[in-house]
């Protein structure tokens, strides 16, 4: 009896072990597949760009003289009309005083001549000459005052002072000598070059009265907070490069962007009925991309694909697949061409969401 019970126990254990092994084998060969998703998709075409302040000028002297005072420093924010530099004004003040005295003399002479002319003591010609001398003296005073005002260099608009051009207190400056630059970067213009074929595609899909928003990826690969608008396209193509220049305008409220920076413009392009698959469904052999497609007999077959664009976690496919194909997503390294598998189907959106959640963790 004991031998019979032992035999039954052994048999039961063997059967249980076999069932457990078969269950493990079934779990090990259950793979995840999905169908490619077809829908209109926005991608971003990338262009190297140059950033320019909306106003960027050189500040130069308008008069010759010694630099008497410097009221600002490099990189300082200044307001319109703020005094920046002072050239020694002594000579120009003296000229203005002389011109003022000459105007006073001419005024008195004209008034006396007018009294005489009104009494017919002097001719009208004498009065006309007196008036001409008065106007000339007034013009000389205005000119001397202008020269005096040129000894003060003021900011023509709000902006940021650039690097000083080797000017120091006491420097003898010539007329027209460069002092520094001034940039107004409340807004910036971002220039980028577009190839002829891409320009034609752009012109064909965009209406002239509909502004196109673009993004700016800064040099540290971070997206700038504000979106820009394409406002102008240059008139002519560069025959040497085959490119045409676009200009986008960006608001720059925090003054992060500076004149002369670089970045990348990301311009949106809509792909009609684009075919999408998860990136992790692909594998590579000799620089060619493949996926495993599950057939009606549940057998996997490697198929070469052509990638049109790359998005986060997603490839846009131009050749090799259709929306009805079943693509193996997980377990790619566990199978080989012709293997018959047991699979479970998941939606494209679920797979992409899981990939995004995994990256966020």
pLDDT, tens only, 1-22 = 444 444 434 444 444 444 444 4
Inform me whether the pLDDT recorded for 226 exceeds 90: yes
DSSP 224: P
pLDDT of 43: 87
Residue 134 has pLDDT above 80, yes or no: yes
Mean pLDDT calculated for residue range 65-80:
95
Please state, in angstroms and as integers, the Cα–Cα distance from residue 281 to each residue in 235, 297, 316, 332, following that order: 45, 20, 12, 8
**Who's near 193: CB < 8 A, 6+ residues apart?**
47, 48, 238, 241, 243, 244, 245, 246
Question: Does residue 140 carry a pLDDT above 70?
Answer: yes
Q: Looking at per-residue confidence, does 20 or 305 come out higher?
A: 305
The predicted structure's pLDDT at residue 206: 59
* Average pLDDT score over the chain: 88
177-181, 222-226, 239-243: which has the minimum mean pLDDT? 239-243
Q: At a CB cut-off of 8 Å and minimum separation 6, what does 144 contact? A: 92, 95, 96, 98, 99
Contact 339, 299 (CB under 8 A): yes
In the predicted structure, residue 360 carries a pLDDT above the cut 90: no
| Helical ranges in the chain per DSSP H | 2-28, 90-118, 124-149, 196-205, 348-360
pLDDT of residue 46: 93
Tell me the Ramachandran region of residue 331: left when phi exceeds 0, alpha when psi lies from -120 to 50, beta otherwise: left
Mean pLDDT to the nearest integer, 311-336: 92
Percent of the chain beyond pLDDT 90?
68
Lowest-confidence range among 23-37, 64-78, 180-194, 213-227? 23-37
Q: Are 33 and 345 in contact (CB under 8 A)?
A: yes
Q: Which residue carries 């017919």 as its tokens?
A: 120
Query: Rounded to 5 degrees, what angle do the CA atoms 333, 336, 340 make?
Result: 115
pTM for the structure as a whole: 0.71
| 120-129, 284-293, 337-346: range with lowest mean pLDDT | 120-129
pLDDT given for residue 122 in this prediction:
81
Which string of b and e fits 314-345 if b means at least 16 CB within 10 Å? Answer: bbbbeebbeeebbbbbbbbeebeeeeebebee
Residue 76 vs residues 71, 79, 261: alpha-carbon distances, Å: 10, 10, 18
Q: What is the spatial distance between Cα 232 and Cα 187, in angstroms, rounded to a whole number?
A: 15
**pLDDT, position 21:** 47
Tell me if residue 352 falls in helix, strand or coil. Answer: helix
Q: Which residue has the higher pLDDT, 358 or 218?
A: 218
Each residue's pLDDT tens digit, 167-220: 889 999 999 999 999 999 999 999 999 999 889 888 876 565 577 899 999 999
**Per-residue pLDDT at 10:** 41
Percentage of the chain exceeding pLDDT 70: 90
Cβ neighbour number for residue 88 with a 10 Å cutoff: 17
């Amino acid at each position: 009896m004991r031998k019979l019970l032992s035999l039954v126990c052994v048999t039961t254990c063997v059967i249980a072990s076999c069932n457990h092994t078969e269950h493990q084998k079934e779990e090990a060969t259950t793979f995840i597949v999905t169908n490619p998703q077809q829908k209109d998709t926005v991608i971003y075409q990338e262009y190297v760009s140059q950033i320019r302040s909306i106003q960027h000028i050189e500040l130069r002297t308008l008069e010759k003289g010694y630099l008497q005072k410097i009221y600002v420093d490099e990189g300082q924010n200044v307001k319109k009309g703020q005094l920046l530099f002072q050239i020694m004004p002594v000579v120009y003040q003296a000229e203005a005083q002389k011109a003022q005295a000459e105007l006073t003399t001419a005024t008195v002479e004209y008034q006396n001549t007018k009294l005489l002319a009104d009494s017919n003591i002097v001719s009208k010609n004498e009065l006309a000459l007196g008036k001409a001398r008065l106007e000339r003296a007034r013009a000389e005073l205005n000119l001397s005052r202008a020269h005096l005002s040129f000894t003060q260099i003021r900011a023509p608009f709000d902006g940021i002072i650039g690097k000083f051009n080797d000017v120091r207190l006491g420097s003898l400056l010539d007329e027209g000598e460069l002092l520094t630059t001034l940039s107004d970067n409340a807004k910036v213009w971002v220039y980028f070059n577009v190839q002829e074929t891409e320009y034609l595609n752009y012109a064909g899909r965009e209406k002239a009265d509909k502004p196109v928003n673009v993004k700016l990826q800064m040099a540290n690969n971070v997206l700038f907070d504000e979106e820009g608008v394409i406002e102008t396209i240059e008139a002519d193509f560069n025959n040497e490069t085959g490119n045409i220049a676009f200009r986008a305008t960006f608001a720059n409220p925090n003054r992060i962007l500076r004149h002369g920076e670089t970045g990348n413009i990301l311009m949106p392009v809509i792909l009609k009925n684009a075919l999408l698959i998860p990136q992790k469904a692909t594998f590579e052999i000799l620089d060619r991309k493949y996926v495993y497609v599950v057939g009606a007999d549940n057998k996997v077959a490697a198929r070469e694909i052509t990638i049109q664009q790359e998005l986060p976690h997603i490839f846009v496919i131009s050749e090799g697949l259709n929306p009805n194909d079943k693509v193996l997503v997980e377990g790619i390294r566990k199978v080989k061409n012709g293997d018959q598998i047991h699979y479970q189907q998941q939606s494209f959106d679920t797979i992409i969401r899981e990939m995004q959640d995994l990256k966020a963790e």
